[in-house]
Structure 1
Amino acid sequence: MKNALLISHSEQSAVSLSQLLESEGYTEISVCQTSQEAKELAKGEVFDLICVNAPLEKENGIELSKYFAGTTRSSVVIIVPQRNADYVNDALTEHGVLVIAKPVNKHLFHHFLQFTECFKMRMFRVIEENEKLKHMVADMKIINRAKFLLITCLNMSEDQAHRYLEKQAMDLRTSKLEVAKQVIRTYEN
């Protein structure tokens, strides 16, 4: 079940774009007319796609697209008049916003949305890998702190402290991290 946030000043365009999004499998489509209304809605809900139909009533949509690209994990697409497409594309490419020129071609729109899905899946894999690496670094810091305590409190060498943590983990059938945490609890008090 995919959901989208559509920001469009024109009700007629909002209806047309909503139908286009529905044909692409978006089952929940929230429509806003102003950037403020859209920002409020996005604070409380996570959207798969945020689509800005530019221009809006009091702005061109560029700053709003940058805002969503910088504050959400949603795919962000801005639809602009053909005459502005190159300028907007130059302004938003570095922010990861996809620019689509009006009039919207249904076939191209389908491919643009597929591209955003592929890009989002790759991004999530990178984020997952980043989280794993952060956990590994945090675990290594704990283990190194335990080694430091063994070296300073028990006058062990670094190799001895390393072997001690590994042997304790093996003997107690637990992880080296758990042994390190126990060493920290014991010697930091």
Structure 2
Amino acid sequence: MYQRNALPRTATGTADDRKDFMPAGVTKCNAVIVAASQTSYAAIKQIVAGVFSSVAFAGSMAEAKQKASAGLCDIVIINTPIPDEFGVNSALDIVTRFPFVQVMVLVKADLYEQVTYKVRGYGIFVLSRPIRGQTLLEGVRMLESMHGKIAQLQNENLKLKRRLDETTIVTRAKCLLIEKKSMSEEEAHYYLERTAMDSSKSKKEVAQEIIRELDPDQ
């Protein structure tokens, strides 16, 4: 499987580009290696184990998908073929159902072009065998960094969603104060700010209380 001097081709760029995908402070990921035998699993694990918090074995794609569904892995490495199927269809299924799971597929050199074409546009990282251990390690590090960037974007989106949610609630409360209490917009804003300060509550909490009081049917 691994040759000291054999250079594989990759579907997502050269391994030397990995430095561009290495943000600092990214928490280590959990990985699942899908392989037909414990021997193949052990060979891959020996190379990549230091990159991850944990590395688990899956002897079938069905087992790998179960682990992904249970949130037990961030990265899946598939050493094709797998006993229950070749592995590519399930790789596509995993990235479609679990978009924050990164997938790497290892294939024979004569299948590389075919597999790369099939997974094009899905963000699946493809390496062809035989493969140098150093290149596999670099590819895995790139995947880990990509996962970290995606996780950061997810967190930023969640924060933005919370801010938009708070803005919507506060705006609704201001409108009710203007409508029901005959306040001006400036008075409603000051009332929310002052009440939040006096009660040691957030503006969102105060706004929710105002909405429940002035528009109980909402």
Structure 1 contact 46–74 (Cα < 8 Å) conserved: no
Give the aligned residue type for 1:113: V
Alignment partner, residue 176 of structure 1: 203
Q: Partners in 1 of 2:199 and 2:61 — Cα distance?
A: 58
Alignment partner, residue 71 of structure 1: 97
Q: Percent identity?
A: 27
Question: Comparing both structures, which one devotes a greater share of its residues to helix?
Answer: 1
Alpha-carbon deviation of 1:116? 0.9
Residues 141-156 of structure 1: pairs in structure 2 closer than 5 A: 141-156=168-183
Structure 2 contact 37–59 (Cα < 8 Å) conserved: yes
Q: Partners in 2 of 1:172 and 1:58 — Cα distance?
A: 61
Alpha-carbon deviation of 1:13? 2.5
Give the aligned residue type for 1:89: T
Q: Partners in 2 of 1:156 and 1:74 — Cα distance?
A: 50
3-state SS of 1:29 partner: strand
Alignment partner, residue 80 of structure 1: 107
Higher relative contact order by CA 8 Å / sep ≥ 6: 1 or 2?
A: 2
Alpha-carbon deviation of 1:170? 4.3
Which piece of structure 1 moves more, 13-22 or 79-88?
A: 13-22
2:55 pairs with 1:47: no
Q: Unpaired segments of 5 or more residues in structure 2?
A: 1-27
Q: What is the RMSD computed on CA atoms of the aligned residues?
A: 2.4
Offset from partner CA, 1:98-138 (integer Å, 9 cap, x none):
11111121111111111112111111111111111011011
TM-score (norm 2): 0.74
Alignment partner, residue 15 of structure 2: none
Compared CA separation, residues 159 and 20, structure 1 to 2 (3 A)? same
Alpha-carbon deviation of 1:11? 4.5
Which piece of structure 1 moves more, 11-20 or 166-175?
A: 166-175
3-state SS of 1:124 partner: helix
Structure 1 contact 147–162 (Cα < 8 Å) conserved: yes
Residues 1-189 of structure 1: pairs in structure 2 closer than 5 A: 3-22=30-49, 24-26=50-52, 28-72=54-98, 73-172=100-199, 174-189=201-216
Paired residues, what number?
A: 188
3-state SS of 1:95 partner: coil
